[in-house]
Structure 1
Amino acid sequence: MEDKLHEPLILLLFLVLFSSYQLPSSAYTLPDKYFINCGSNINLNITSRTYVGDMNPGLVSFTKQNSYFTNNKQASKTSPALYRTARIFRQKSSYVFKIDRNGPYLVRLHFFGSKKLSAAVFDVLVPGFLLLHNFKLQNSSNTAVIKEFILSIPVSNFSIDFVPQGPSFAFVNAIEVFPAPPGFINDDDKNGYKGILSQPLQTIHRINVGGPTLTPKNDTLLRKWLPDDSYLYHADAAKGSRVLPVKPTYLAPFNQFIAPDLVYMTAKEMNISTTGMVSENINITWSYNVTPNAQHLVRVHFCDIVSSSPSKIRFLLYIGSYLSQEIDPYKRMGRLATPFFVDFVVDSDDSGLMNISIGPDSSSSVKNAFLNGVEIMEMMRESEFVKPKQKSVFVIVGPFLGGLVLVCIFGGLLFIRLRCRKSESVGTSKWPSFTAYKGSAPSNKMSQQSSPSRQGTTNASPVPDLYLGLKIPFFEIQLATSNFDKKLLIGKGGFGNVYRGTLRTGVKVAVKRSEPGSSQGIPEFQTEIMVLFKIRHRHLVSLIGYCDEGLEMILVYEFMEKGTLREHLYNSKLPYLSWKQRLEICLGAARGLDYLHKGATGGIIHRDVKSTNILLDENLVAKVADFGLSKSGPPGHTHVSTFVKGTFGYLDPEYFMTQQLTQKSDVFSFGVVLLEVLCARPAINPTLPREQVNLAEWGMFCKKKGLLDQIVDPSVKAQINPNSLRKFVEIAEKCLQEYGADRPSLSDVAWDLEYALQLQQTAVAREPYDSTTGASSLLRSSIIRRLPSITAEFYSDEMGRLGEAEIGTVFLS
Structure 2
Amino acid sequence: METFRSSLFILSLLFLLLSAVHVFAQTYTPPDKYFVKCGSASNFVDDTGRIFVGDLNASDTFRFTPRNSRELNRQNESVRVFNQPAFYEFDVERDAFYIVRLHFSPKNFLADLSAALFDVSALGVFVLKNVNATNLIGNDSVSIKEFFLKINTEKFRIVFLPKSSSIAYINAIEVFPTPPDFIPSEAQEIISDGRNGSAARVSPFLVLHTIYRVNVGGPEILMEGDRLWRHWEKDDAYLLNPSSAVNSDIYSSTPQYKSKTDVYFAPDIVYKSAKQLNRNASSTRTSLNITWSFPSRKHTVNLLRVHFYDIIGESTNKFLVFDLYIGDSFSRTIDASMEVGGVYPFHLDFAVDSGESGLINVSVGPLGENQSVQFNAFLNGVEIMEAMDEHSKDPEISAPWLEKSKNKLVGLWVGLAVGVFGLICMLGCGIWFGLKWRKRKTEEASYTHTQWSPLSAFGGGSTHSRLTDRTTSSSPLPNLNLGLKFSLAEIKTATNNFNKKFLVGEGGFGKVYKGVLKNGMKVAVKRSQPGAGQGISEFEREITILSRIRHRHLVSFIGYCDEGLEMVLVYEFLEKGTLREHLYNSKLPPLAWKKRLEICIGAARGLHYLHKGSAGGIIHRDVKSTNILLDENLVAKVSDFGLSRAGPLDETHVSTDIKGTFGYLDPEYFRTQQLTEKSDVYSFGVLLLEVLCARPALNPTLPREQINLAEWGVRCKKMELLEEIIDPKLEGQIEPNSLRKFSDTIEKCLQEDAANRPTMADVLWDLEYALQLQQSTAPRMPHEDSETIGIGTSSTAIQRFGSIGSSVLRDDPDMSQDVDSHLTASEVFSQMKADHGR
**TM superposition score normalised by structure 2:** 0.44
Which protein has the bigger helix share? Answer: 2
Which has the greater radius of gyration? 2
**TM superposition score normalised by structure 1:** 0.45
Question: Which structure has more RCO (C-alpha within 8 Å, separation ≥ 6)?
Answer: 1
